[in-house]
Amino acid sequence: MTMRIPLEATARRGLRVVRRLFRLALGTAHASWRRSIRVRVVTTTLVISGVVVAVLGVFLMQQITNALLEAKERAALLQLDDGVGVAQGRLAAGPTDQETTNGKLNDVVTTLARRSGPAGLYEVIIRDENDPGIAGFSSNAIKLDSVPERLTQQVERSLASTPYRTYGRLSYDDGTSAAGLIVGTKVNGYQLYYLFPLTQEKQSLTVVQRTLFGVGGALVLLLAAIASLVTRQVVIPVRLAAQSAERLAAGRLEERMKVRGEDDLARLATSFNDMAANLQEKIVQLEELSKVQRQFVSDVSHELRTPLTTIRIAADVLYEAREDFDPLTSRSAELLQSQLERFEGLLADLLEISRYDAGAATLDAESIDVRELVLRAVGDTEDLAERKGSKIVQQLPGEATMAEVDRRRVERILRNLLVNAVEHGEGRDIVVSVAADRDAVAIAVRDHGCGLRPGEAHMVFDRFWRADPARARTTGGTGLGLSISKEDARLHGGWLQAWGEPDQGSQFRLSLPRVAGAELRGSPLPLVPPEVELRRAPYAELKLEADA
């Protein structure tokens, strides 16, 4: 009992190992089948050629077997016809006593069996159908019951010397047996049977079968090798083209394919090279244009600071003395002041964008309670929200939510999000939510205004993009706030994402890693508001029930 348990445990472990290896091999084969055209072509060729060779092999074996048996039957009937002539001469009318008859029958069997030659091509059996007491005579110790009963009845019922044939088992006195062809007919009131062993034919068919198996297997393997070779000639250029395309997509614009010959693959390589050259030329042109544009924006932004400072000084003087002017001049001074503030904001945004374009933006990270940043941003935006008739609702965690972030940049992101929510919130409440997990913090700003149309959730971060170009800006936005916010989030290694539906409002979610430089794998807050998901759930359940 103590030995049986370890043996069973070992057997189970071995079975698990075998199953694991089988699943691994099956998975590897499935992966090769999905990923490799060559494997699919070679495998398909093997299967189809194997089926075709098997069908042809069965057909050829049937044809060869039928041909051999037909030739054997013709030879057997000729031998039987020759033996009938000999037997008729030996069994002519004469003494009819039993001893003499038995002697004649034995002499006929011996004479006919001797004519089969030293190889013993056939055996002979003769019976006296007029004397049921005599079982019959046979040659070379072959048993009389080797003749099937159905053949005996056919010969017995025949009226003329008609030959009959059948196949059966030939039994010998030493206990051996063999498949054989048996032919028989009537001769002067006796039944004469020739029994032909099919040993040589069986050996011949075995040789033919082995030859067909060998040739068929070799043919299948040869076809698979040919398919592999032919597929290789096509797959290798395609793989080279795929590798070149991957390197081209990775930014190696000088990548080109080698052109060999003048066939279809050569034309493919030529077309690919032409496409790569044109693409390289266009990208170089776009890069140069982008550099010129960035340089222009940077230069203009810097050059405008000096005259803007002078204008600002003069505008401040006019604004402070506006009460001494007539109403029209006073109003002009106020408009000049407000537009100068908007222009300064636009200039500051352009300078910030130029820093990102030049790759000069840096992150000054410090450990800060994110709730503090949210409170400061909400405080800066509350006056604007009150003028718009909106209320900012805060959903903050009860404990400190620490993260290593750049205070200035995160506050700017939050102000941009809040101002955007106020501008498009249509006087409804704005909800600011904060959540955190072990690796990340997230801040969501939700408004209940006009929302976003399909496809606008990504476009909203484009520079100078507006959801409704005909709509006038009432809050002095520059059209660069969300673009800068996106870059600020990316500089932190975080995400800034948007969701929105028409007439359902929108939600912007900022997700940041808690440790500067860490990889962000998820967000503690959902992008789609929970109430929207709950509203969608019944429809999803109804759809699933309808599909079922």
Q: Are 183 and 194 in contact (CB under 8 A)?
A: yes
Residue with the two structure tokens 């290694």: 493
Please state, in angstroms and as integers, the Cα–Cα distance from residue 200 to each residue in 73, 122, 183, following that order: 14, 12, 18
DSSP run (H or E) holding 183: strand 177-187
Residue 158, helix vs strand vs coil: coil
| Strand 392-395 to 430-436 pairing | parallel
Residue with the two structure tokens 């520059």: 478
How do the pLDDT tens digits run along the chain, 548 residues long?
444 556 677 777 777 788 888 777 777 777 766 767 777 888 888 888 888 988 998 999 999 999 988 998 998 899 888 888 888 877 765 556 667 777 778 888 888 888 877 767 888 888 877 655 455 788 877 888 888 988 888 888 887 678 999 999 888 888 888 899 999 998 887 888 999 988 888 888 899 889 988 988 888 888 888 888 888 777 777 777 778 888 877 777 777 877 877 777 778 788 888 888 888 888 888 878 777 766 776 677 667 777 878 888 888 888 888 888 888 888 888 888 878 877 777 777 777 777 777 677 788 899 999 999 999 999 988 988 898 899 999 999 989 999 999 998 999 899 999 999 998 888 899 999 999 999 999 999 999 988 888 888 888 888 777 665 545 444 445 677 888 889 889 999 999 999 999 888 999 999 999 998 899 999 999 999 988 877 765 544 444 344 44
Residue 433, helix vs strand vs coil: strand
Helices (H), 36-148: 37-90, 98-114
Structure tokens at 301: 């932004």
Q: Does domain 366-470+478-547 have CATH number 3.90.1150.10?
A: no
Distance CA 369, CA 405 (A): 9
Q: Are 506 and 451 in contact (CB under 8 A)?
A: yes
CA atoms within 13 A on the CB side of 262: 0
Instruction: Quote the pLDDT of residue 225.
Output: 86
The fold of the 254-361 domain, in CATH, is: Helix Hairpins (1.10.287)
Instruction: Quote the pLDDT of residue 98.
Output: 67
Q: What is the pTM of this model?
A: 0.48
Instruction: Quote the pLDDT of residue 536.
Output: 63
Please state, in angstroms and as integers, the Cα–Cα distance from residue 480 to each residue in 238, 289, 412, 418, following that order: 45, 20, 12, 14
Please state, in angstroms and as integers, the Cα–Cα distance from residue 397 to each residue in 87, 436, 489, 513, 531, following that order: 119, 9, 22, 17, 20
Q: Quick one: how many helices (H) and strands (E) in the chain?
A: 12, 12
Q: Are 60 and 238 in contact (CB under 8 A)?
A: no
The fold of the 92-203 domain, in CATH, is: Beta-Lactamase (3.30.450)
Distance CA 226, CA 340 (A): 79
Instruction: Quote the pLDDT of residue 5.
Output: 53
Instruction: Quote the pLDDT of residue 40.
Output: 81
- Residues 352-408 pLDDT 10s: 777 777 677 788 899 999 999 999 999 988 988 898 899 999 999 989 999 999 998
